[in-house]
A and B are shown apart, each in its own frame.
Chain A
Amino acid sequence: MSDFPYLSVLTAAPLVGAAVVALLPRSRPELAKRVALIWSLGVLVLAGATWVAFQPTGDTFQLRESYPWIPHWGVNFTFAADGIALVMLALIAVLVPLVILASWHDAERPNMRRSVPAFFALILALQGTMIGVFAAADVFLFYVFFEVMLVPMYFLIGAYGGARRQYAAVKFFIYALVGGLFMLAAVVGLWVVGGGTLDWQSLTQIDMSTGTERWLFLGFFLAFAIKAPFFPFHTWLPDAGGAAPAGVAVLLVGVLDKVATFGILRYSLPLFPEATLWFAPYVLALAVIGILYAALLAIGQNDLKRLVAYTSIAHFGFIGVGIFVFTSQAGTGAVLYMVNHGLATGLLFLVVGMLVSRRGSSLISDFGGAGKLVPVLAGVLLFAGMASLSLPGLAPFISEFLVLIGAFAVNAPVAVISTLGIILAAAYVLWMIQRTTHGPVNPKLTSMPEMKRDLSLREKVVVAPMIVLIIFFGFYPKPLTDVITPAVEATLTHVEVSEPADAPEAQP
């Protein structure tokens, strides 16, 4: 059973599903939804099997498969997963069925006549390309998925989004393409330096000159910084996240953006260790600025979806800090954060989407006292908010805590300034909740029958698993840390600062 090609099947399954759903007749939307949902549940089962097949104590890279692809360039279809990739694959597999269920009516809103099968086919296609990105162990293959991923997301935002969807979609695409093309130049450079191979494992063995390494690092980093997004490359995210349908936004900030931090861990650190160390102070500065700047902007937002998008940028700052202080504690925290952020911010996006679809507006000022009309929904919003500001006992707390103590050990100023971000997080979350669900009821809301409909069974089924997971991992993160920590430690050996005591030397 160990020879089963888990990763390639896991990548291909959603893509096949996308083709199947796309071919369903447009006149039968319900059928398309059901097929898509069942298919994504099948992918979830496959992902579960992959998780079981993975040995937490075994080699760093497991489930390796390799098929020749373009022998002329030494490019192969190589898949392999370490613990970091594995948890991301699991996160995708969990989120997509929930997103499909949450988006049940998103493609058929009254003012748009879009194809329903196409919407769900695009979500499955996005899932396939995202799995491919995390499963790839060949730089070329990674790049291919990295770029192709844009296409379904572009159509999801551009064709099914809210107001200003075209602007947001094009901005998203252009920003991502800018990063992608710089990465392409770096990939080509890597190919030349590597003597005609792009296999990850062989590339980690080569020595390159300092100058080359820094340039290549920059090429990759620029792509990742835009994708993540780090300050100051972040301006596309509030637009894209604000315009995307709620479910799509979950995939956008929950998974797609993680490709960047994953890429930094998988490619920047092992392939360009010296350059990573050299650039670390600057990246840390960007990350810290991002935490504070995005949190401040989040406080100032009057649009719910944009607000959540800004909180996400702030959280990415934490992940950046966790990676670039180079301690195994902080690194584990960062990867754990990648998962928890997917769950917490994902839940926040979904529940905000539910609120927004009832009101027909995403402006905070259009709400007020909504908790009296839809108490369960308001409760879930409060829970998601608490998870987002890292309340102890909920999953994000552990990751944030790990990042901060890991950072404190080697770089106290960064840790202290980042801690300010937590305070700001409390401010934007609590103030947002206060203005939407608490206080006197906005008279306009009471006249809207939609606003009196609390969570439906479908919506409860969507949020319940996420709530359960957030609480579960809040108390018992061991299943995740067991697979993450060895992978993070193996990654950090490339920059040769796995112990906090050595780390200060990393600062030039």
Chain B
Amino acid sequence: MPDFTLPSIDYLAISPLLILFGAACVGVLVEALVPRQYRHPIQLGLSLVAVLVALVMVIRLAGTAVITAGGSVTVDGPALFMQGALFVFAFVALLLIGERRVERQGAFVAQAAIPVGSRADTKQLTALSATEVYPLTLFSLGGMALFISANDLLTMFIALEVLSLPLYLMCALARRQRLISQEAAVKYFLLGAYASAFFLFGVALAYGFAGSVDFADIHAAIGESPYHPGLVFAALALIVMGLLFKAAAAPFHVWTPDVYQGAPTPIVAFMAAGTKVAAFGALLRVTYVAFEQLAWEWLPIIGVIAVLTMMLGAILAVTQTDIKRLLAYSWIANAGYVLVGVLAVGRAGASATMFYLVAYGFAVLAAFAVITLVRDKDGETPYLARWAGLGRNSPLIAGAFTLVMLALAGIPLTAGFTAKFAVFSAALAAGEAWLVIAGVLSSLIIAFPYLRVVVMMWLSEPTESTSTVAKPGILTGSALAIGVAAIVVLGVAPGPVLDLAHNAAVFLR
């Protein structure tokens, strides 16, 4: 029997992960042991506290750079920066998930799988609120946090599943519009499963090439010989494909609009801000740490994907009539801009990418906070036509959404502009002028739909079908306020966050 020594684990370094997974398990116990009517405040409080404590730990860990847990987890600058961003986003998203005043009993049902329209399903529409969503969120968040600090492909794959499976489920939990909610979940699950399979296949090929799934080993294996077999390219392609699916880059984007439209809005907010950070965090790590020496091979291909993503997202956004779908295509286009940052290989590229993710995350959180508020008696009304003249009746909410639209369009003094400047300048400094040109062109196109929403809200007369705006509860109100404040602060005084991103942008190999 071979000697087996337990790997030494730096518990402090991975404490954010432990806190989240621990709190998620406690949440499951709460579901089992606490009477239904008390669960909501307990679960919400538990989740918020867990996320906050994890955030505090991340801040305390700042500057740490270790590889631990038997070489499976890296805790370095990029990981901590993006984990911090994730936790802030998750905190805001949890506020939206926990909102009970806008919709009685919250936006979620307990059992996603009950056939729509069946007696059980009708019953659960009016049933007491479901709180399974909190542990699910924590598991998913823990998965995302692990995803960006994985140090080998296998850990990354496990994290991918941990972050994805709860999301598939949560997509189906909408209290209203059960059918499209289920449809969204099924689409997301099926395509997500394919993507996972691609990723896993890539991992296997990488193992075949390097004899290890560790990033540093792969890096070393590539460095050993100047001639590379097709195996390594196939591995890289399949792994990146899996990651680009999560990031919703073209041509792996088709699930996005349907999922955005069908999933409960607070979950979409969580996904849009969080999954994007996780996906690009992992993409950065795979491309910068494991396959950096192949940059000349993957740069042009990912460059083409970036251009395709920006263009496709922008062009398809133009025709949308549903604001959630519009934001989905906007997400796709933005994935292209983030890729532009990734392609500026190096420290500037990594810091620009991370800054972009932060700026974009706050913008979408604010956007979805507004969407949860615009409704009629049957629930949310994300149809563009029903937002006509919204500015007349609720100038503050319409003003907040206008700010989000201006930020997404990249108007200066908003976070969106700073972020665009960051990725474009990094790309141009890396000599990728063609990406900047494509970025500019697609920004032009996508400004159109954003502007149309603004026109609808301010310049159109309200009609009889114009939705009303629910009075935001303290939870949604704070979520919206945080989002709006961040858009302005990152636009007007981005210096500290830029510096933070720059200082953090050193990967540990």
Contact = CB atoms under 8 A, between A and B. Distances in A.
Interface of A: 69-73, 143-145, 147-148, 150-151, 155, 158-159, 165-166, 169-170, 173-174, 177-178, 181-182, 184-185, 188-189, 191-192
B409 A188 contact: no
B102 to A, nearest CB: 26
A166 B429 contact: no
19 contacts: A70-B498, A72-B502, A73-B421, A73-B498, A143-B412, A144-B412, A147-B411, A147-B412, A148-B412, A150-B411, A151-B406, A158-B455, A169-B459, A173-B447, A174-B448, A177-B444, A185-B437, A188-B425, A191-B428
Nearest to A143: B412
B444 A178 contact: yes
Interface string B463-495: 000000000000000000000000000000111
Q: Main secondary structure on chain B at its contact with chain A?
A: helix
B458 interface: yes
A184 B410 CA distance: 10
Contact of A185 (B406, B424, B448, B458): B424
Given A148-B412, A174-B451, A165 B425 contact: no
B455 A188 contact: no
Interface string B443-460: 110011001100100111
Given A151-B406, A185-B437, A191-B425, A69 B495 contact: yes
Contacts, number: 83
Given A151-B406, A151-B411, A191-B425, A185 B447 contact: no
A26 B404 CA distance: 25
A71 B437 CA distance: 26
User: Could you say which interface size class chain B belongs to?
Assistant: 20 to 34
Interface string B400-423: 000000100111110001101100
B451 A170 contact: yes
Contact of B440 (A158, A170, A174, A182): A182
Contacts of B418: 70
Contact of A159 (B421, B440, B459, B495): B459
B423 to A, nearest CB: 10
B336 to A, nearest CB: 15
Contacts of B10: none
A147 B447 CA distance: 13
Contact of B458 (A148, A159, A177, A189): A159
A21 to B, nearest CB: 15
B459 A148 contact: no
A143 B406 CA distance: 16
Q: Is the interface of A mostly helix, strand, loop or mixed?
A: helix
B436 interface: yes
A147 B448 CA distance: 16
A281 to B, nearest CB: 26
Contacts of A182: 440
A221 to B, nearest CB: 15
Contacts of A73: 421, 425, 498
B297 interface: no
B495 A184 contact: no
A192 B440 contact: no
B447 A72 contact: no
B411 A148 contact: yes
B376 interface: no
Given A144-B412, A178-B444, A185-B437, A170 B499 contact: no
Contacts of B425: 73, 188, 191-192
B421 A174 contact: no
A177 B444 CA distance: 7
B498 A185 contact: no
Nearest to A155: B458
Contacts of A145: 412
Contacts of A70: 418, 493-495, 498
A148 B433 CA distance: 25
Given A72-B502, A188-B428, A148 B451 contact: no
Contacts of A159: 458-459
Contact of A72 (B417, B433, B499): B499
| Interchain residue pairs A-B with the least CB separation, the first 9 | A144-B412, A72-B498, A158-B459, A181-B440, A188-B424, A147-B412, A188-B425, A192-B429, A166-B459
B428 A71 contact: no
Contacts of B428: 188-189, 191-192
A177 B498 CA distance: 25
A185 B410 CA distance: 13
A170 B409 contact: no
A145 B413 CA distance: 9
A244 B502 CA distance: 45
A454 B386 CA distance: 45
Contacts of B417: 144, 147
B436 A188 contact: yes
A183 to B, nearest CB: 10
A147 B418 CA distance: 13
A353 B409 CA distance: 34
Contact of B413 (A71, A144, A158, A189): A144
B460 to A, nearest CB: 8
B455 to A, nearest CB: 6
Contacts of B499: 71-72
A142 to B, nearest CB: 10
Contacts of B455: 158, 166, 169-170
Given A70-B494, A191-B425, A185 B412 contact: no
A387 B4 CA distance: 95
- Chain B CB within 10 A, most for which of A71, A72, A73, A158: A72
Interface string B40-64: 0000000000000000000000000
Nearest to B456: A166
A173 B495 CA distance: 29
A70 B177 CA distance: 46
A166 B429 CA distance: 39
A449 B421 CA distance: 56
Contacts of A181: 410, 440, 443-444
Contacts of B413: 144, 148
A445 to B, nearest CB: 31
Contacts of A185: 424, 436-437, 440
B410 to A, nearest CB: 8
A155 B395 CA distance: 13
Contacts of B406: 151
Given A169-B455, A173-B447, A191-B425, 9 more contacts: A73-B498, A143-B412, A150-B411, A158-B458, A166-B455, A166-B460, A178-B444, A182-B440, A192-B428
A145 B411 CA distance: 10
Nearest to B436: A185
A151 B406 CA distance: 9
A244 to B, nearest CB: 13
Contact of B447 (A155, A158, A177, A192): A177
A184 B458 contact: no
A402 to B, nearest CB: 36
B429 A165 contact: no
A73 B420 CA distance: 13
A263 B193 CA distance: 54
Contacts of B433: 189
A173 B451 contact: yes
Nearest to A181: B440
Contacts of A150: 411
Interface string B378-412: 00000000000000000000000000001001111
A180 B498 CA distance: 23
Contacts of B459: 158-159, 165-166, 169
